[in-house]
């Protein structure tokens, strides 16, 4: 019996630990399969090591800390400082710390949100060549109903959770390092400075407040001609000298138009008694008096030695100033006064605008007493057309402006007869000029602002407005260098606006190009 009892006790001692060992094994296995549980016997995390090192450093080194250890380099200090949170070389005010708030700019997924079974299925599945299209459609529908997405098109590692949104008011300080937007300091300014006030103001007493007259013109020799009632004055822009050139003898007569020849040494003067006078400014002497019109001459324009005059009757006469029989051609295309008249820079066409709301384009011809027809007639304006100007860069482009009942500026292609652009100026258009320095044009206006407006070409967007006149602008003219615009208004003042002035670099480049062109002309 004693022997049997001993065997039973030994057997009991052998079988008793088995349930405990099995429990420990299952616990370890469960811990390994649970991904969120801490890993036993694992090395401490980096932050734990750093915290431990900081405690050791603050409490002081152990007694044998300075003794060299076997198999390790001697006297090699171990850094206990924290990882710098700022970029080396940056100041404290510009340093940028890594965001440490919950819900920052980075999305750190949670392992519990990973669908490991779907990933395992996608990795281990085999291609089944026997699947029919109908079967695949059924499988796709089942997958959509069960999972909410198509398993066949899913990613291997799919996260079912949603990313956390940043808290309200949070701003990521790192985004300025990778921003593609240029800083204000490196942004180039495309515009230029245009003075909003006039550079100079001149008195113009007794100037006639008549929309249809052309009373100022600027010569290539820098003389500004101004017609004040019955007297013509010349103002030398360089010396500021004022010269009285001529005066009408009869008290009822007045000056209705002035125009310089291209060379700038002769001035044509149109009068209210239907005369066209030619004056030499150097001799201050009248060279000839040409009479062919039957009413006042309100517009003049030169084309080499041909002087064209427009009158109140609607007729345009060509005068050859070299010969005694000066009247060489008559153009009859207007039924009312011709108030706008301009030859193209290349001399191919003459543009005329009248009080009958018409614009006629005439070809350049030669011959005695020839009556011609216009090659183009534009009828879109609803008011008198006095503002007429040719583009200095495109010989077939013309700008025109209508009166009070029209108020539009229109850009024309005289070759095709099409209107390229039209803009509502909101007021009477009295004059239009093209800039030779910029792709822009300037217009003078009447009521209610009485302003000058600079327009960008070809968009016809408004660049700026120049205000100062207290009555409507009557005429505009430009200086020979293209930088200054002179405006004559019914407030009896002349104002000079430096609205097209070149910067020094562009001015030097333009002067060099002009010198080279003069040299080529001399060689020819």
Tell me what pLDDT residue 178 has. Answer: 47
Cα 173 to Cα 105: distance, rounded to the nearest angstrom: 10
- pLDDT reading at 72 higher than 50: no
Q: Tell me what pLDDT residue 126 has.
A: 64
Quote the pTM value: 0.63
pLDDT per residue as tens digits for the range 465-480: 999 999 999 999 999 9
Name the residue among 442, 363, 443, 349 with its Cα closest to residue 398. 349
For residue 227, the model assigns a pLDDT of: 97
Q: Is the pLDDT of residue 177 over 80?
A: no
d(Cα 18, Cα 6) in Å, to the nearest integer? 20
Q: How far apart are CA 234 and CA 226, in angstroms?
A: 6
Tens digits of per-residue pLDDT, 9-60?
555 555 554 556 666 777 777 766 665 556 666 677 777 888 888 887 776 5
Distance CA(259)–CA(307), nearest Å, equals: 9
Mean pLDDT for the stretch of residues 86-90? 48
**378-400 residue pLDDT tens:** 999 999 999 999 999 999 999 99
- Range of lowest pLDDT (71-80, 250-259, 391-400): 71-80
pLDDT mean over 71-92: 47
Q: Does residue 330 have a pLDDT over 60?
A: yes
Residues 346-350, mean pLDDT to the nearest whole number: 94
Residue 142 binned pLDDT confidence (cut-offs 50, 70, 90)? confident
pLDDT, residue 521, reads 41
Counting residues of the chain whose pLDDT is more than 70, the rounded percentage is 67
With vertex at residue 470, the alpha carbon angle to CA 464 and CA 472, rounded to the nearest 5 degrees, is 80
- Mean per-residue pLDDT, 230-253: 95
What does the alpha-carbon distance between residue 418 and residue 421 come to, in Å, rounded to a whole number?
9
Pairwise pLDDT comparison (55 vs 239), residue with the higher score: 239
Kindly report, residue by residue over 499-518, the tens digit of the pLDDT. Answer: 999 876 666 666 666 554 44
53-62, 165-174, 286-295, 514-523 — most confident range: 286-295
If we measure between CA atoms, which residue out of 225, 230, 253 comes closest to residue 475?
Answer: 225
Report the number of secondary-structure helices (H) and strands (E) in the chain: 6, 29
Percent of the chain with pLDDT over 90: 56
pLDDT, tens digit (0-9, with 9 covering 90-100), for 274-291: 999 999 999 999 999 999
Q: Tell whether the model's pLDDT for residue 181 goes beyond 50.
A: no
CA distances from residue 236 to 223, 224, 230, 243, 281 in whole angstroms, order as listed: 5, 7, 20, 8, 11
At 265-274, the pLDDT tens digits run 999 999 999 9
Lowest mean pLDDT among 15-29, 222-236, 252-266, 352-366: 15-29
Task: Report d(CA 53, CA 235) in Å as an integer.
Answer: 91
pLDDT at residue 107 is higher than 80: no
Task: Round to whole Å and give the CA distance between 473 and 450.
Answer: 6
Of 63-72, 93-102, 144-153, 204-213, highest mean pLDDT: 204-213
Q: How many Cα atoms are found within 13 Å in the side-chain-facing hemisphere of 164?
A: 14
* Predicted pLDDT of residue 59: 66
**Residue 67: per-residue pLDDT:** 45
Predicted pLDDT at 463: 94
Give the up-direction half-sphere exposure of residue 152: CA atoms within 13 A in the CB hemisphere: 12
Q: What does pLDDT average to over the chain?
A: 80
pLDDT class of 90 with cuts at 50, 70, 90: very low
Contacts for 272 with CB less than 8 Å, ≥ 6 apart: 252, 253, 254, 255, 256, 296
What pLDDT is recorded for position 186?
Answer: 39
* Overall average pLDDT of the 285-299 stretch: 95
pLDDT at 163: 60
pLDDT for res 122: 73
pLDDT of residue 188: 45
Per residue in 399-445, pLDDT tens? 999 999 999 999 999 999 999 999 999 999 999 999 999 999 999 99
Q: Residue range 97-122: average pLDDT?
A: 61
> Around Cβ 441, how many Cβ atoms within 10 Å?
23
Instruction: Count Cα neighbours of 108 within 13 Å in the Cβ-side half-sphere.
Output: 5
């Amino acid at each position: 019996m004693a022997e049997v009892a001993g065997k039973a006790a030994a057997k009991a001692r052998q079988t008793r630990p088995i349930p405990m060992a099995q429990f420990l094994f299952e616990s370890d296995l469960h811990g390994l399969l649970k991904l969120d549980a801490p890993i036993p016997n694992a090395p401490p995390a980096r932050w734990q090591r750093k915290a431990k090192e900081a405690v050791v450093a603050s409490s002081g080194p152990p007694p044998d800390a300075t003794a060299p250890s076997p198999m390790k380099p001697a006297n090699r200090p171990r850094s206990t400082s924290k990882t710098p949170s700022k970029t080396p070389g940056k100041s404290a005010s510009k340093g940028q710390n890594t965001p440490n708030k919950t819900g920052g700019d980075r999305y750190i997924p949670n392992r519990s949100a990973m669908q490991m079974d779907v990933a395992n299925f996608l990795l281990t599945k085999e291609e089944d060549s026997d699947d029919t299209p109908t079967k695949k459609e059924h499988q796709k529908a089942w997958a959509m109903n069960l999972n909410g997405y198509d398993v066949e098109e899913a990613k291997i590692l799919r996260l079912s959770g949603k990313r956390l949104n940043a808290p309200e008011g949070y701003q990521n300080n790192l985004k300025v390092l990778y921003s593609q937007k240029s800083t204000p300091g490196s942004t180039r300014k495309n515009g230029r400075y245009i003075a909003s006030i006039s550079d100079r103001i001149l008195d113009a007493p007794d100037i006639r407040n008549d929309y249809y007259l052309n009373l100022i013109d600027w010569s290539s020799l820098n003389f500004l001609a101004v017609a004040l009632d019955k007297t013509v004055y010349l103002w030398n822009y360089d010396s500021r000298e004022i010269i009285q050139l001529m005066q009408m003898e009869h008290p009822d007569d007045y000056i209705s138009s002035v125009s310089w020849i291209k060379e700038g040494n002769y001035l044509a003067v149109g009068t209210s008694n239907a005369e066209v006078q030619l004056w030499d400014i150097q001799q201050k002497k009248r060279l000839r008096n040409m009479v062919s019109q039957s009413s006042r001459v309100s517009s003049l324009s030169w084309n080499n030695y041909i002087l064209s005059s427009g009158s109140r009757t609607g007729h345009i006469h060509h005068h050859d100033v070299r010969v005694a029989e000066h009247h060489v051609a008559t153009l009859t295309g207007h039924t009312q006064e011709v108030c706008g008249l301009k030859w193209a820079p290349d001399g191919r066409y003459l543009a005329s605008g009248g009080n009958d709301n018409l614009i006629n384009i005439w070809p350049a011809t030669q011959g005695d007493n020839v009556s011609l027809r216009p090659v183009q007639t534009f009828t879109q304006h609803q008011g008198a057309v006095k503002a007429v100007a040719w583009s200095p860069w495109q010989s077939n482009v013309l700008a025109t402006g209508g009166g009070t009942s029209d108020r539009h500026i229109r850009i024309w292609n005289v070759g095709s007869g099409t209107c390229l652009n039209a803009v509502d100026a909101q007021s009477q258009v009295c004059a239009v000029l093209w800039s030779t320095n910029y792709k822009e044009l300037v217009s003078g206006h009447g009521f209610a602002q009485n302003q000058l407006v600079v327009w960008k070409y070809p968009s016809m967007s408004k660049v700026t407005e120049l205000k100062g006149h207290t009555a409507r602008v009557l005429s505009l003219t430009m200086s020979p260098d293209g930088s200054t615009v002179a405006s004559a208004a019914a407030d009896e003042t002349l104002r000079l606006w430096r609205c097209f002035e070149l910067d020094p670099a562009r001015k030097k480049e333009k002067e060099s190009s002009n010198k080279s062109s003069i040299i080529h002309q001399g060689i020819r």
